[in-house]
Amino acid sequence: MSETRTVGPARSLSGEITVPGDKSISHRSIMLGSLARGTTLVRGFLHGEDNHATLNAFRGMGITIDELKGGDLRIDGKGLHGLAEPGDVIDCGNSGTTIRLMTGLLSGQNFFSVLSGDRYLRKRPMKRVLGPLTAMGARIWGRGGGELAPLAISGGTLKSTEYVSPISSAQVKSAILLAGLYADGVTTVREPHLSRDHSERMLRYFGADVRPFDGGVSVAAQPTLEGREVFVPGDISSAAFYMVAALIVPGAELLIRNVGVNPTRSGIIDILQEMGGSLELLNQRELSGEPVADILVRSSTLTGIEIGGSVVPRAIDEFPVVSVAASFAEGTTIIRDARELRVKETDRIAAMVNELGALGGRVEARDDGMVIQGGESLAGGTVHSHGDHRIAMSMAIAALRARGEVTIDDTACTATSFPDFWSLLDQVCC
């Protein structure tokens, strides 16, 4: 398939990098900027395909969004009730965050809309948002009895809810909170473990009444959101590839500047430190309601560990690259409680078992995770991305410590979250 890349073993890795803006925060900045009154400036917006899907969706609903010099955005918000009915199907591309959050938000609009996406997105489960939204009075239809996109929404009046989610999912939580803005009272969402809280933080930053409590969060309906200046920090999920690269390449030292280290996202740092990785957080600060730091990473001897429980949602997008780190660690790593990996852009458990296995890695699938035998060196070979950006990038990082060149097919998908991934790799490796 398109865009094959070959990555060879790295002799060394060093330098200073900044990674592109956080994908989750970039999505939310467009959504809340559009629903706010007045101007929102977004600094450090991630220009990846996923975020452009959200941007185009709001332009298609009558919101003016200008790109400024350097890629920053100016959004002329029209208030909570200022969106116009889109003239066409909203194309969410590969982006689960776009389709699920917008399903919540569009449930409260007085118009009809249809959401769809690429062949991967159209296989991903949607009842997890349709169920609670329907209970709020939303009228939504989808293929497969409401499980699959395209989704059709006839928006209207919503009632508030107290939803107890069986899964820790920020997309589910955020869809309900966004619908809750249009409800008739206070909406509450509880989840087993706290998932990323960017929606809560940004809603509060824009002036909504959001109250987190132990085990959940509530939002009051019909707030007036005020346009703000949003500084998007570097995406820790993108930084994670470079953290693992610097840990596994002998003699490496890398400074990653301006990374979002929100505690609901920083599970990867805890996991890698527990494995014996040298990661130091420097210059810690807060930018528009989000904690940020520079991260200094030094090559380290890693040891296998057991991973499960509340750290799993805090590192949910990082398990492909964690399995790479574990392949080069001493001993066994066991990942459990991570069944959600099966319904990401692809089944990430099956994908990493196959692809690391193709290079001679010993990885076994479990229903809710994987068992990785470390200490084996990986061979060169050909691997597949499964059309999933994080699988493609994880395999490129594995190649840095493999014995021979690794060819990765279908790498164009990295543009969904990290368009500069390959040039940055060239910059720090030799």
Kindly give, in sequence order, each residue whose CB lies less than 8 Å from that of residue 56, ignoring residues fewer than 6 positions away. 91
Smallest separation, CB 26 to ligand S3P (Å)? 9
What is the per-residue DSSP string for 247-293? HHSTT-EEEEEEEE--TTTTHHHHHHHHTT-EEEEEEEEEETTEEEE
With tokens 């910059």, the residue in question is 427
Annotated active-site residue in 22, 50, 317, 410: 317
Positions of E strands within 299-399? 306-307, 332-335, 362-366, 369-373, 381-384
How many residues of this chain bind ligand S3P (CB under 6 A)?
12
Q: How far is the CB of 191 from ligand S3P (least distance, A)?
A: 10
Binding residues among 307-336 for ligand S3P as defined by CB under 6 A: 316-317
- Window 99 to 138, contacts with ligand S3P (CB under 6 A): none
Q: Which is nearer to ligand S3P, 198 or 384 (CB)?
A: 198
Would strands 187-190 and 210-213 be described as parallel, antiparallel, or unpaired?
Answer: unpaired
Please state the closest distance from residue 417 (CB atom) to ligand S3P, in A: 8
Interaction of residue 97 with ligand S3P, rule CB under 6 A: yes
Q: Does 165 bind ligand S3P (CB under 6 A)?
A: no
- Of residues 9-38, those binding ligand S3P (CB under 6 A): 24
Whole-angstrom distance, CA of residue 216 vs CA of residue 250:
43
- 170 contacts ligand S3P (rule: CB under 6 A): yes
Min. distance of Cβ 343 from ligand S3P in angstroms?
Answer: 7
Nearest approach in angstroms of CB 301 to ligand S3P is 30
Q: Measured from the CB atom, is 388 or 410 closer to ligand S3P?
A: 388
Among 26, 174, 299, 346, binds ligand S3P (CB under 6 A): 174
Q: Which of 257, 313, 309 is nearest to 280 (CA)?
A: 257
Three-state secondary-structure class, residue 172? helix
Q: For this structure, is 426 an active site residue?
A: no
Distance (Å, whole) CA 73 – CA 53: 15
Coil/strand/helix, residue 27: helix
Q: Please state, in angstroms and as integers, the Cα–Cα distance from residue 381 to each residue in 91, 248, 294, 346, 360, following that order.
A: 35, 19, 34, 21, 9
- For ligand S3P, the closer of residues 258 and 262 by Cβ is 262
Residue ranges in contact with ligand S3P by CB under 6 A: 24, 96-97, 169-172, 174, 196, 316-317, 340
Active-site annotation, residues: 317
